[in-house]
Amino acid sequence: MVDEDLIYKTATEVAALFRKRKLSPVEYMKAIIARSEDAQKKINAFTFTHYDEALELAKAAEARFMKKDGRVGPLEGLPIAVKDESWIAGKPTSYGSLTTGKKFYTPDRTSPNNERIMKAGGIVHARTATPEFSCASYTHTRLWGVTRNPWNRRYTPGGSSGGSGAALAAGMAPLATGSDIGGSIRIPAGASGVVGFKPPYGRNPDDPPFNLDPYCHTGPMTRSIQDAILLQNIMCGPSPHDIASLRPKLRLPTEYKPIKGWRIAYSFDLGVYEVDHDVVANMKKALRVFKSLGATVEEVDLGWGREAIETPMRHLEHLFGTQLALTAKKHAKIMTTYAKNFARKGAKSKASDFYKSMEGAVRMYKTFGPMMERFDIFICPTNALPAVKADFDENKDEVRINGKVSPLPKVLAWCMTPPFNTLSRCPVLAVPTGHAANGVPTSIQIVGKTYSDADVFRAGIAYETALGGWYGSRRARPVL
């Protein structure tokens, strides 16, 4: 039987035990693999697994820890689940799509983030499930099947980094990676009850060609904010393979001052969303925590309306949709319905639509930017609904919130994340706020001023510390 107290330790705690020689990387890896093999049957969070290789790498890590002069990396011996869309040389990447063929796509080089993670000693024991080409807010594919939420398996863990969110919540990994072009880190972080960070555009390198899309971000997903800092400090920094990556490298501190005296702006609906009653209630509890820490909180009107969702959708359909449209010309028969829907919209998009998305982005920041001059951070829900069903089909299912059918585009109707891909230079940290009546977690987004990454972590650390963390006791973990 797997020791749950061991597998739910934070990566920071495990790394400290490794260094003190109080825990063997091999023992820990065996526990993670055992948990993964059991949980995989229930939630289907992984695509490819590399367990044998991971154990060999754990043995090598253990040997380095046993040497008095052994050099160890900041992630030495730690298992990490990597989203099945980035590259590891010589290993398959499926993108969740049948279009990659029976042998899948096997790259000859490693993505910059993955290269850094492995160089720091991280061990990739598994790849995490994603919807086809990461183009949905839920995670199911014709290739791998349905990925389920560990807290309530009838619901999705979110998408597109849904496998990463589910794996973290289920104790299948202490660290995971995600990517975010419309909320794909924050949506599953919210629905799975974990931490997810969307860094400002350019902070972390990405793969071509979407490294050139300001909506696209790679980032860490974890069960604690200290772990998010640990992984983010490895992932970030300039890369010779990504012209958009920022110089100099930003290293986040691990200790922060209190937030007493901070001014916090908030909105429950961003002026456009219907928001589930449980989501609102749990956000109110979170705001009370921030007030108890000495911050003042003030509700603000951003002056946004439907444009807050129409603007990012125009952008995504024009660029992301165009890529899918090119794939659909050859492979439409074997693609998922949601990917084909995106492809159809991409095929219809015109340059004028993309230009309108730029105009919309200007108008959105025209109110958001000046408002943030009066505040330290901004808070809103991550998802307007805890989650849709695990097998949600946008061709036939409706998104209902508080009994009302959402008029917004179904693929992202329940997610409040896309506006902050439009405002892509703002750092955003998604953190849990509790659970809805159906057991699915709820979450808030902590949004900072442009390129002010440390601000969102300072607020997040203060909030997490006040609550005592999220997975410390058995009562705070999903039952599988």
CATH of the domain at 74: 3.90.1300.10
Give me the percent of the chain exceeding a pLDDT of 90.
Answer: 97
Q: What angle do CA 180, 184, 189 make, to 5 degrees?
A: 120
How large is the average pLDDT for residues 322-330? 96
Q: Could you tell me the pTM of the whole model?
A: 0.98
Does a structural domain hold residue 287?
yes
- Band (pLDDT 50/70/90 cuts) for residue 69 is confident
Burial class (CB in 10 A: 0-12, 13-18, 19+), 332: middle
Q: What is the pLDDT of residue 1?
A: 79
Q: What is the CA radius of gyration of the chain?
A: 21
Q: What's the number of domains the chain is made of?
A: 1
Pairwise CA distance, residues 32 & 8, whole Å: 10
Does a structural domain hold residue 403?
yes
Residue 188 has pLDDT above 90, yes or no: yes
CB crowding 264-280: b at 16 or more within 10 Å, else e: bbbbbbbbbbbbbebbb
Residue 70 has pLDDT above 80, yes or no: no
Pairwise CA distance, residues 108 & 94, whole Å: 15
Convert the pLDDT of each residue in 124-156 to its tens digit: 999 999 999 999 999 999 999 999 999 999 999
CB 147 within 8 A of CB 127: no
User: Where in the sequence is the domain holding 272, given as residue range(s)?
Assistant: 4-473
Q: What is the pLDDT of residue 308?
A: 97
Burial class (CB in 10 A: 0-12, 13-18, 19+), 475: exposed
Residue 422, amino acid: T
Q: What is the pLDDT of residue 143?
A: 97
Name the nearest CA neighbour of 382 among 132, 140, 198, 151: 198
- Band (pLDDT 50/70/90 cuts) for residue 277 is very high
Token pair listed for 420 = 């902050």
Does a structural domain hold residue 480?
no
Q: What is the pLDDT of residue 18?
A: 97
Convert the pLDDT of each residue in 31-44 to its tens digit: 999 999 999 999 99
Q: What is the mean pLDDT of the chain?
A: 97
Token pair listed for 308 = 């807050």
Convert the pLDDT of each residue in 374-406 to its tens digit: 999 999 999 999 999 999 999 999 999 999 999
Start-to-end CA span in the chain (Å): 13
Please give the DSSP secondary-structure letter assigned to residue 439: S
Does a structural domain hold residue 479?
no
Pairwise CA distance, residues 10 & 313, whole Å: 36
Q: What angle do CA 171, 176, 179 make, to 5 degrees?
A: 140
Q: What is the pLDDT of residue 336?
A: 98
